[in-house]
A and B are shown apart, each in its own frame.
Chain A
Amino acid sequence: MPTEQQTIIQLSNQFTLTDIEVVKIFTPLKSWEDKFRQLMLLGKKLPQLPIEYQLEQYLVSGCESKVWLLHEWSNDKLCLIASSDAKIVKGLISVVLAAFNGKTKAQIQAFDLEGYLAQLNLLNQLSPSRANGLRAIIDKIYNYCE
């Protein structure tokens, strides 16, 4: 039986999407339908979070939907795994993990997240409570780096 730490690191390694790929996917998209379809596909790229990790203690508070977020440090890199009961949220999580997963503290802190999100032009598609939920996930990741 792998330890929890090993499982998180192993699952996190399976997620290989990068921010550059995400930008490439979203830049040509104009219609809201296409953006949401892509979010669905990105959500499917998240490694499946085993049911035994879908626990109260991993829930991100402040999200409208349930979001579980787990992390471990491995060789100074932040390994993240996350999931949600809502498909749109899973897509958004994928967008965030593409920027932060497997990065060092310095890389995460130096990354221009606002520019990245603005480029994707996704946030104005979201209700305020959804957008706040996304912020809650991002804040939690920044907290890991403090």
Chain B
Amino acid sequence: MPIRSQFKIFSDSNLNSPTPFVYLDSAATTHKPQSVVDVICEFYQTQNANVHRGSYTTANLVTARYEQARINIAGFIGANDHTDIVWTKGTTESINLVAYAWGENNLSSGDTIVVLGSEHHANFVPWQQLALRKNAHFEVVNVLPNGDVDLTHYQALMANKPKLVALQHCSNALGNIHPIKSLTELAKQVGATVLVDGAQAVAHLTVNVNNIGCDFYAFSGHKMYGPTGVGVLYIAPDIKSEMSPFHFGGEMIQNVTREKTTFRPIPAMLETGTPNISGILGLNAALEFIQSAPAIEALNNNAQTYNYLIEQLSQINNVQIIGNSNNNIGVASFVVEGESVSDIGTLLNEQNIAVRCGHHCAMPLMQALNINGTVRVSLGIYNDKSDIDLFISALKKSLSILSC
């Protein structure tokens, strides 16, 4: 089946009239193929049961599929073992979990935390706040004008021997792909623990956590064609002994008496409470989708669509593309001289074009680049040249209205 036809949203008659719905906001969330929707519906219609608890057949079947999803996710990111995978509700929760379950006991007054200047708030604020709680130093790596990492500054900060380095794999606001393996290596050389925020990477790049060499890798299901409310935290085997439980309750425990509780090893230790079972099964279906031959082919074609987008955008007067379009996951972030990005967003919306306008949860990046925000066009597997043509003509029309 052609990729686009697997997403019913693109043929919905309400949404696609009077003009086609052009979705260029996949960096915010991707649409879900029918296979993902079906798995979730079928789970509730015919299989609903809790995991790890039942003594009956459906519960055992669901538990097996749920644990198989963990094995599949481990394989997807090149982790050696399925016990390195902790389910969370998304990237944000994964990062905050590390800030508490690891950060609280491993960071002390005077230690240093380093983050990139282009981080999403989800990989910025938890560390800033941890540093405030611990009286630690919070250092932000300078951003080059094209959004890339200022490597000289990064290396200079490594001389402070940071305890933790938190790095985005790819920028959500600009799409830049960072040299994550060498950044991780440099941090590891000075003994830092390294967390990578892979929210924007997993749908676009082949990720191998072993090859990167990081201690933690965080991502969300909903940005890789899976459901909302489910995410992953990869924890490298060597760092597991440094983690403490954070939320307490059922499932995580080995033995409970009035006086004390002993805990099971990771992942159970960090997964108390009934998990998002349908979401995890849906994420597994998304994984099958993303690894299917048509999806891989469509993803390869995205590169051409992206080049076409950049070429077309560059020809419009006063458009300034922010970010490195030579090494990018398919994001075109831009400003137009003399226009506010929210006006452009409003007029594109009138023409059934979905883009995101503003600071993209990366206010420190906007400050570093000295801009108020951008219009962000981000591609997904289902976008093609026709989307770009509709977008470009809608943008031209918007700019002509704004200049009247």
Contact = CB atoms under 8 A, between A and B. Distances in A.
Interface of A: 32-33, 36-37, 40-41, 64-65, 85-89, 125-127, 130
A89 B402 CA distance: 12
Interface string B56-89: 0000000000000000000000000000000000
Contacts of B345: 127
15 contacts: A33-B350, A33-B401, A36-B350, A37-B404, A64-B358, A65-B340, A86-B340, A86-B343, A87-B339, A88-B343, A88-B346, A88-B347, A89-B342, A126-B346, A127-B349
Nearest to B358: A64
B402 A87 contact: yes
B347 A36 contact: yes
Contacts of B402: 40, 87
Contact of A41 (B339, B342, B349, B404): B404
A130 B372 contact: no
Nearest to A125: B350
Contact of B342 (A33, A40, A86, A125): A86
Contacts of B342: 64-65, 86, 88-89, 130
Contact of A40 (B349, B372, B397, B401): B401
B372 A85 contact: yes
Contacts of A40: 401-402, 404
Main secondary structure on B side of the interface with A: helix
A86 B336 CA distance: 12
Contacts of A126: 346
**10 shortest interchain CB distances as A-B pairs:** A86-B340, A88-B343, A32-B350, A86-B343, A36-B401, A37-B404, A40-B404, A65-B342, A86-B342, A85-B340
A126 B347 CA distance: 10
A33 B346 CA distance: 12
B365 to A, nearest CB: 19
Contacts of B349: 127
A19 B290 CA distance: 56
Nearest to A88: B343
Given A37-B401, A125-B350, A127-B345, 6 more contacts: A33-B397, A36-B347, A87-B340, A87-B343, A88-B342, A130-B342
